[in-house]
Amino acid sequence: MGLSLATAGAGAADFVPKDGKIGYAMTDLYWAIYQTPDAKQECPKGFNDGPREQFDKLFPAGKKRTVADTQLLLETKTWLTSPEPDGFVFKEIVGPTSYGLNLDGKVDANDFTSPTGEKGIDNQLYRALGCVIGFRGPDGVEYIFENKAISQSRYNRTMIEITGVDSLVNDDDVKVTIYRGLDRLLTDATGNKVMPGGSQRVDDRWGKKLIQTIPGRIKDGVLTTQPAKQMIIPWMNLGVPTFQLIRDMRFQLKLTPTGAEGLIAGYADVDIWYKQLIRNDSTHHLSNGQISGISLYKALRRLADAYPDSQTGANTAISSALDVKMVQVYINAPPSNTITAAR
């Protein structure tokens, strides 16, 4: 839905983190989708069909059906993907506005403009997902459940620790280390509201390959990092230990002493993106969000805009942005040699 950075710096003005470091754990994560009332601006032709609607069109009731010619045919196409057209018209975003960042430093015809007027926004993933009900808030099935899993599953416990911080408002040179935590998030007595001030052990065994440090700077209370070559975001939704791989990943986060929110942006690996979706969500779950995996994969391949395959020339990654919220935590990092060894 997009998170505003307009009040950057609020609450951070007179805060200096102890020992120059502050940690945050991820609590919310959504694919950034710019939505207007009734979607009239961005999806004037309406929303895409899902598996149930496509099944009814392909196999009208009253005709003899076999498992092999219906269910297995569609499941095969879902899992053994092809970029070739499937005969259904896919409705892409047509509006000019999107959340995200200018990833390539250019402004070209396919780019969006941010709600605050910044041009050159690279977010072709939004073009693919924006007219799919399941990814739209507040009640799309992916919007709800993929995000819910972020706070509930320890597997998804992505954290950052910012070090070398002289001021949470302006600091030209900070380091941002990405970890995975091992513990549940601190909540209030209801168990539903995540609270700042919890502590997290660092997963330096299974999560060792997730650890990396990138430089950044804080300006007017907003942390912006340099691009990391790639970031693995562990993202299990329905019990399958999958992840997203974001290339040229960078954070843009408004910081406060108790939390951070903003964007993760970069180029999502298309095949990994798609498999993260369909390995967690069966065709049943996708149906509840009117998400045709078959049609969506073809759109992703068609709209992919970076990292061309060395042999085919086809792009393998798609520009993307994620809305992220984090809560302040105390990170019990392993000895520095452990972290260094993992880089």
Partner 1 sequence: MRRAMTARKLQMAGGVLTVAMLLASGSSSASGDMAAKAGSAGAREIYVHVPTPEGIRVQSTELEGPVFATADGHTLYVWPFKRMRVGYSGEQKGKPACYDEVLKTTAGLMSPYPAGAELPELDTRPSCAKLWPPVLAKADDKLVGKWTVVDRKDGTKQWAYDEQPVYTSILDKQPGDVYGGFSRRSGGDSPAGRQPIGPPSKVPPGFDVKTTTLGRLLTTKKNYSVYSYDKDTPEKSNCVGECAQVWTPLIAPETAQPQGDWSLVVRSAGVKQWAYRKKPLYTYTLDQRPSSLEGSDVPGWHNVYTQFAPSFPKGFTLQDSIAGQVLADAKGKTIYQYNCGDDSQDQLSCETPDDTQVYRLAMCGAGDPVRCQKNWPYVLADKGTTSISRTWTVMSIDPKTGHRATAGQTDALSVWAYRDRPVYTYAEDKAPGDVYGDATGEWRGGRNGLKAIWVRDDFFGGGQ
**Which positions lie near partner 1, rule CB under 8 A?**
51-52, 55, 64-68, 70-73, 75-76, 79-80, 153-155, 183-184, 205-207, 209-210, 232, 234, 236, 238-243, 275, 279-280, 282-284, 287
Look up tokens 């003005």; give the residue: 13
What tokens does 55 get?
């099944």
- Name the minimum Å distance from CB 311 to partner 1: 16
8-state DSSP, 37: G
- Name the minimum Å distance from CB 289 to partner 1: 12
Query: Looking only at Cα atoms, what is the longest distance across the chain?
Result: 72
Q: Which residues pair with 268 in a beta bridge?
A: 246, 318
Cα(169)–Cα(218) distance, integer angstroms: 6
Nearest Cα to 293, choosing from 320, 274, 280, 318? 274
Of 65 and 229, nearer to partner 1 (C-beta) is 65
Of 34 and 55, nearer to partner 1 (C-beta) is 55
Contacts for 306 with CB less than 8 Å, ≥ 6 apart:
103, 104, 247, 248, 267, 315, 316, 317, 318, 319
Of 149 and 306, nearer to partner 1 (C-beta) is 149
Of 218 and 268, nearer to partner 1 (C-beta) is 268
Cα(120)–Cα(101) distance, integer angstroms: 8
Of 40 and 65, nearer to partner 1 (C-beta) is 65
Angle between helices 71-79 and 51-58 (to 10 degrees): 130
**Residue 196 vs residues 200, 216, 257, 274: alpha-carbon distances, Å:** 11, 23, 9, 33
- Name the minimum Å distance from CB 109 to partner 1: 34
- Name the minimum Å distance from CB 303 to partner 1: 22
What tokens does 59 get?
């196999």
- Name the minimum Å distance from CB 77 to partner 1: 8
8-state DSSP, 338: H
- Name the minimum Å distance from CB 241 to partner 1: 3
Contacts for 289 with CB less than 8 Å, ≥ 6 apart:
50, 132, 133, 134, 135, 140, 141, 142
Of 204 and 248, nearer to partner 1 (C-beta) is 204
Of 15 and 59, nearer to partner 1 (C-beta) is 59
- Name the minimum Å distance from CB 174 to partner 1: 26
Of 163 and 288, nearer to partner 1 (C-beta) is 288
- Name the minimum Å distance from CB 131 to partner 1: 20
